[in-house]
Amino acid sequence: MSRQPISRRLKILRALRNTGHRFNHWRVVGMALTLGLLFGVPLSGLARVDLWGGRHALLFRGASFRHGLAGVLVGIGLFYVVTFLVNVAGGRLFCGWGCPVGQLSRFGEAVETPGLDRRGKLLASARGAAFSGALVLSVMAWWVDLRVLWMGGSKALILAWAVLFLSVVAAYSHGRWWRWGFCMSTCPIGLYYSFVSPARWYGVHFRNQNAACIECNACDNVCPVDLAPRDLMAPTGSRPGISIAEAPGRNHCLECGDCVRACEFMISKKGGDEVPLLIGFFSGPQRIEEEAAGTESQHPNSTFATGG
Ligand code: SF4
Ligand code: SF4
């Protein structure tokens, strides 16, 4: 599958950025929850290892290294269990709304918004760098008391700041240049989500019984992971890296809502009032077309195009 030119996505995002949207608020809530959880567990003392001062913690009390480490590992395990359950019930919701790595990609894209002047680029870069810093600090807090950054001895100070600086550079660079390529080809969590992903009701649905679709292709062009939102039961063809090829597009869908937002924008621009692309809980097939209302379209090469 050839990648959509990134410039098309960026142009659509530029148009969308000028309009307020409920998805912006949802994403802020998702990111706040993720960062709140990442900071909350170690800073509250629920579980933490402190490789600097030995102030390990478990269940809000001081603990031995072994117990602190056990708490951290259980915390990571619980995170996987929770996201797995979300995945079973609602597909890759976490990818679209809660994953800070995906958010880094959004900050990276913002820097390249077409038509941005120098000041705008600087501001967008600063926002990306600040988010990268917050993410790196939240991860560091699980392994070291963050006070090492201002109270540590000279060696500890140098080491802590070097780790912080290099990690922020890596996180920022990831969002700026690798972006969604990581989600598509390398993310191990995304890979297993693609296998699990049995969400049958929640997700992107195409409802075109009334021929509301204006065939503008904005949904295809804006999808960050090169899917065809109008036909997510069709097989995806070859995918890069370790992602699974030939699975339905729905298994790879991040449920980020970008295609739905683009569709709402295009329909309203044309003065329409019915949006054919929707995200949420829907019964029935993923795609319902005008001429075949009530039946799912069958992709000619699909071996997966069954069920809704
Ligand atoms: S199909 Fe839509 S919701 Fe799914 S990843 Fe692409 S843009 Fe996001
Ligand atoms: S963005 Fe909406 S109107 Fe445009 S092609 Fe996609 S589904 Fe149709």
Query: CB atoms < 10 A from the CB of 85, how many?
Result: 10
Round to whole Å and give the CA distance between 252 and 258: 14
Residue 142 has what pLDDT? 97
For ligand 2, what atom is nearest to the CA of residue 218?
1
Task: For ligand 2, atom 1, name the residue with the nearest CA.
Answer: 263
Ligand nearest to the CA of 234: 1
pLDDT in tens, the chain (308 residues): 456 667 889 999 998 887 889 999 999 999 999 999 999 999 999 999 999 999 999 999 999 999 999 999 999 999 888 888 888 878 888 899 999 999 999 999 999 988 889 999 999 999 999 999 999 999 999 999 999 999 999 999 999 999 999 999 999 999 999 999 999 888 888 888 877 766 667 899 999 999 999 999 999 999 999 999 999 999 988 888 888 888 889 889 999 999 999 999 999 999 999 999 999 988 889 999 876 444 444 433 332 222 33
Cα(203) to centroid(ligand 2), Å: 16
**Residue 259 CA to ligand 2 centre (angstroms):** 8
pLDDT, residue 305, reads 29
Question: What per-residue confidence (pLDDT) applies to 297?
Answer: 46
Domains of the chain, residue spans = 6-190, 200-288
Please report which helix (H) or strand (E) contains residue 202, including its range.
strand 202-207
Ligand approaching nearest to the C-alpha of 204 = 1
Instruction: Report the pLDDT value the prediction gives residue 199, as an integer from 0 to 100.
Output: 60
pTM for this predicted structure = 0.88
Helix extents (H) in the chain = 6-17, 22-44, 65-90, 93, 100-111, 118-140, 148-151, 154-173, 180-185, 188-196, 218-222, 249-252, 258-269
In one-letter notation, the amino acid at residue 302 is S
> Whose CA is closest to atom 4 on ligand 1?
253
Q: How far is the CA of 221 from the centre of ligand 2 (A)?
A: 10
Residue whose CA lies nearest to ligand 2 atom number 6 = 219
Instruction: Give residue 98 CA to ligand 2 midpoint distance, Å.
Output: 26
Confidence (pLDDT) at 247: 86
CATH 3.30.70 fits 200-288, yes or no: yes
SS3 (DSSP) at 235 = strand
Strands (E), 233-307: 277-281, 287-288
Question: Which residues have a Cβ under 8 Å from the Cβ of 157 and sit 6 or more positions away?
Answer: 148, 149
Q: How far is the CA of 248 from the centre of ligand 1 (A)?
A: 13
Return all residues near 98 (Cβ < 8 A) that are at least 6 apart: 30, 31, 33, 34
